[in-house]
């Protein structure tokens, strides 16, 4: 079975995404965000766009979104998705990395099995200020109106928070759900 590619956008937690997948016995590999688009399209079954310091350093990530593969964007990965599809990202009011209570309004495929409120860890230095056309807001918080978004018909999902860190409530569930979405897509 082909792996899920974790795209390294120079974030400090990308290795934890890979580790979380491995701990769930989900085949995964970390790749640089400069990996040629054709290779990515041929060599994996899904893509996780990891976090990072700046959208200007996102390499080929915008192109990966045109491959027709399921995509999960985390933090900067969410911002890449939003800007690629016509949304806007702006500097967050709350800034730094820390705990946030998130209210899940739409327990879509990627958030299946979660209660209506969860505690997560997130950076809000930047956040989605305007959803891309066609996307649905799945979760929000008191400091951010777009904590999670989705375009389910294309299996594209984005989270502001970091499911890979231990402080996030049942973060592994996001990766299990993403793997399930991929497996169902491949049938």
Which CATH number goes with the domain that contains 63?
3.40.50.880
Task: Please list the alpha-helical segments (H only) found in the chain.
Answer: 14-23, 37-43, 61-64, 76-84, 172-186
Are 128 and 146 within 8 A, CB to CB?
yes
Give the DSSP letter of residue 168.
S
Q: Say what the pLDDT of residue 185 is.
A: 77
CA distance 35 to 38: 9
Q: Cα 137 vs. chain centroid, distance in angstroms? A: 13
pLDDT in tens, 76-132: 999 999 999 999 998 877 767 789 999 999 887 999 999 999 999 988 788 999 999
Q: Cα 82 vs. chain centroid, distance in angstroms? A: 11
Contacts of 44 (CB under 8 A, 6+ apart): 2, 3, 4, 5, 29, 69
- Give yes or no for residue 151 having a pLDDT over 90: yes
- Band of pLDDT at residue 186, cut at 50, 70 and 90: low
- Give yes or no for residue 54 having a pLDDT over 70: yes
- Give yes or no for residue 146 having a pLDDT over 80: yes
CA distance 146 to 112: 17
**Number of domains making up the chain:** 1
CA distance 39 to 186: 19
* Residue range of the domain that includes 103: 4-186
CA distance 162 to 122: 6
Residues taking part in catalysis: 75, 162, 164
Q: Say what the pLDDT of residue 187 is.
A: 54
Mean pLDDT, rounded, for 33-44: 97
Give the DSSP letter of residue 10.
S
pLDDT in tens, 13-30: 899 999 999 999 999 999
Average model confidence (pLDDT) across the chain: 94
Instruction: Name which residue leads in pLDDT, 13 or 157.
Output: 157
Is the alpha carbon torsion for 97, 102, 108, 113 positive or negative?
A: positive
Mean pLDDT, rounded, for 60-73: 97
What pTM, to 2 d.p., does this model score?
0.96
DSSP structure string for 133-153? TT-EEEEEESS-S-SEEEEGG
Longest dimension (CA), the chain: 43
pLDDT over 70, % of the chain: 98
Strand 136-141 with 117-130, pairing: unpaired
């Amino acid at each position: 079975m082909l792996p899920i590619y974790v795209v390294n956008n120079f974030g400090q937690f990308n290795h934890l995404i890979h580790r979380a997948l491995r701990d769930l016995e989900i085949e995964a590999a970390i790749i640089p965000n400069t990996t040629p688009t054709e290779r990515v399209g041929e060599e994996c079954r899904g893509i996780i766009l990891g976090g990072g310091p700046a959208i200007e350093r996102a390499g080929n990530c915008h192109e990966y979104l045109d491959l027709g593969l399921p995509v999960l964007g985390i933090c900067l990965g969410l911002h890449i998705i939003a800007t690629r599809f016509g949304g806007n990202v702006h500097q967050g009011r709350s800034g730094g990395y820390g705990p946030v209570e998130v209210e899940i309004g739409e327990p879509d495929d990627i958030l299946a099995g979660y209660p209506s409120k969860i505690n997560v860890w997130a950076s809000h230095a930047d956040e989605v200020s305007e959803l891309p056309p066609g996307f649905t807001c799945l979760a929000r918080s008191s400091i951010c109106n777009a904590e999670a978004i989705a375009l389910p018909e294309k299996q594209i999902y984005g989270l502001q928070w970091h499911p890979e860190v231990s402080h996030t409530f049942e973060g592994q569930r996001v990766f299990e759900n993403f793997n399930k979405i991929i497996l169902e897509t491949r049938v």
